[in-house]
Chain A
Amino acid sequence: MTLPLGQRAPLLSMNHIEKTFAGDITALRDMSLNVNEGDFLSLLGPSGCGKSTALRLIAGLSHPTRGRIEWQGGKGKDDLGIVFQEPTLMPWATVAQNVWLPFRLRGTGFDDVKTEIYEVLKLVGLENFRDAYPRELSGGMKMRVAIARAMVTKPRLILMDEPFAALDEITRFKLNNDLLELKAAIGCTVIFVTHSVFESVFLSDRIIVMAARPGRVIHELEVDTPYPRSEAFRTSAEYAAHTRATSDALGEAIGEAA
C-alpha cells in the first residue's frame, strides 16, 4: 500500500544536476529532485527539455557534468527496471526468454525463476503467449512484454521513457489502466517521461514540468486524487481541472523557451 504524499520515505535525490554535451550544449541545468518510495512521478515537457537526459542519468547510462544523484541506502543491482519508447525485445528469443533476461544476466537459470516469469506474464495478460516470438505480437502486446521484463525482478524503481507514445489511443488507455494496477501490485516507484498532459495527469501523483533550452525544472504539480483511478476519473471534473493546471504550466514552459 502506497503512503500518501508527504509521508513517503525518500528513495533518491538529484542535487543540482547539470549535464553539458560537447562542452557547450546544456541539456540539463541545475536540476534538483527528490523521489520518494511509491511515487508515480511524471517528467513532462516539450522535446529538448532534458527529460530523457534526466532519465539516462538516473539509470546510470550517463554521468552528470556537475551535481550528484544519491540513492537512499545505495543502489543495488536489482533496484532498477527500464522501459524504452520501443519495446526493445530480442527478436530471437521467446516472450518468456525475454522476460528472463534480467535474471539470466545475473546467472540465474530459467527453471529457478520460472514461477516469477509466469506470474508476471499473467499480470500483464500474456500467459498464453509465453512461447511466442516478438514478431507474432501486436505493438501493445510487445510493450506489455517490455513492462513485464522491467517488473519481473520487483525493482524499487522503474524508469519509463515515453513507452506508449507510438501506440494508438485505445491501446494506450488500456495500458495506462493496466500500468496503474501493476504498480499497485508490485509496489514500486515509477518515473515516467511523457509529453502528454492527459497521460501524466491520469497516471501520476507528482508531475514535474520542464522547459527547454536549457533543460530545467520550472514547476512541480501534485495530483492528489487517490488510487485506484478508474476510467471514470478520465471524465471527471477533477481530472479536467488538473489537466488545465498542468496545461497552463506546460504552456508557460513552452512560452519561456520561445
Chain B
Amino acid sequence: MTVTETVPEANPDAPVIDVEEAARARRDKIHRIARWILPSLVMAMTLLAWHLYVTLNNVPHYVLPGPLLVGQSVFDDWGILWPALLTTLRLTLLALIFAILGGVALAVAFTQSKWAEMSFFPYAVILQVTPVVAIAPLLQIYVDSAFVAALLCAWIVAFFPILSNTTIGLKSADHNLQDLFTIYGASRWQRLRYLSAPSALPFFLGGLRIAGGLALIGAVVAEFVIGRAGTGLGLASTLLEASYRFNFGRLYAALILISAMGVAIFAVTSLISHLLLRKWHESALKREG
C-alpha cells in the first residue's frame, strides 16, 4: 500500500508567513491606525456632547460657552491671544533653558565634588519643596521687572527634576567601565565627557520631559500671582483678566492654548529624547516577539 500525500507546490520566492505572523501583522496595522483614530473620535464626541449640552439646556455663555463660541473667540481675539501666547512661550522656554543650564551645572558640580554636594544639596531641596506661590509675591517686591520675577518662579519649579535626574545619571556609570577608565589613565574631564555624560543622558532626558511641563506650570502660576499687578503678561494673565470680565469665550480659548502649548512641549522633548536614544537605549528600542 502506498500513501501519497499531495503537497501544494510552494512558491520559493514568496515570504514565509505563518498564521501567527499574519495575525500579528494585522494586529500591528490596526493598532497603528487606532492610535490616531480613537483619540480623535473621543475628542469629536466630547465636543459634540459639549455643544449639545450647551444648546439644548440654553446654558448662558458666562457659565459655559459652547465649543463654537470658544472657537470664535480664538479667531476674534487672536490679536490679544497671539502676543500673550508668545510671552508665555518665551517665559516657559527661557525658564526651561535656564533650568537645564543650572540643573546640569549643579549636577556636575555635585558629582565632581562631594563637599559641594554636602553643602548645597539640602538647599536645592528646600528651594524645590517651598511652594512657588509663596515665593512669587516676594520676588515681585524685590525684582523690578515682572517678566524677570515670573521667569525666576518658573525656573525654580523646573530646575529640580533636571538637577535630581542628572545627578543620579552622572553617578550611574558602570563600575567596571569606571575601572577601565582608571586603568587607561583617563583625566577627570575625559571621564565626565566619555563616561558619565553618556550614562547620564537617558536620566537627563527623563528629567527634561518633566521639567518642560513644570516650566509651563511655573510660568502660569507666576503670571497668576505677578500678573495681578496689572503688568499684563501672557496667556494666564489674559485668562485671569477674561474671568474678571466674564468673557468666558476668551477664558476657554486661553485655556485651550495653554494646554496645546503643554502638549507641544511634551511632544518636542519626547522627540528629542527619542532621537538621541533610539540607537542604543533600552527605553527607545522596539522589541521583537
Contacts and interface: CB of A to CB of B under 8 A. Distances in A.
Nearest to A88: B176
A92 B173 CA distance: 12
Contact of A105 (B184, B280, B285): B184
Interface in B155-193: 174, 176-177, 179-186, 190
Interface residues of A toward B: which range?
A: 20 to 34
B201 interface: yes
Contact of B198 (A86, A92, A104, A106): A92
Interface residues on chain B, size class: 20 to 34
A128 to B, nearest CB: 18
Which of B176, B186, B279, B281 has most chain A Cβ within 10 Å? B176
Q: Which of B181, B182, B184, B194 has the most CB of A within 10 A?
A: B184
Contacts of A91: 280-281
Contact of B184 (A84, A86, A102, A133): A102
B215 to A, nearest CB: 27
A88 B177 contact: yes
Report whether over half of chain B's contact residues are helix, strand or loop; otherwise say mixed: helix
Contacts of A80: 183
Contact of B183 (A59, A104, A134, A135): A59
A101 B184 contact: yes
A61 B280 contact: no
B196 to A, nearest CB: 12
A148 interface: no
A119 B176 CA distance: 25
A165 interface: no
Given A92-B198, A135-B280, A106 B185 contact: yes
Interface in A77-109: 77, 80, 82, 84, 86, 88, 90-93, 101-102, 104-106
A135 B183 CA distance: 25
A90 B198 contact: yes
A125 interface: no
Given A59-B179, A61-B179, A105 B198 contact: no
Interface of A: 59-61, 77, 80, 82, 84, 86, 88, 90-93, 101-102, 104-106, 133-135
Interface of B: 174, 176-177, 179-186, 190, 194-195, 198, 201, 279-282, 285
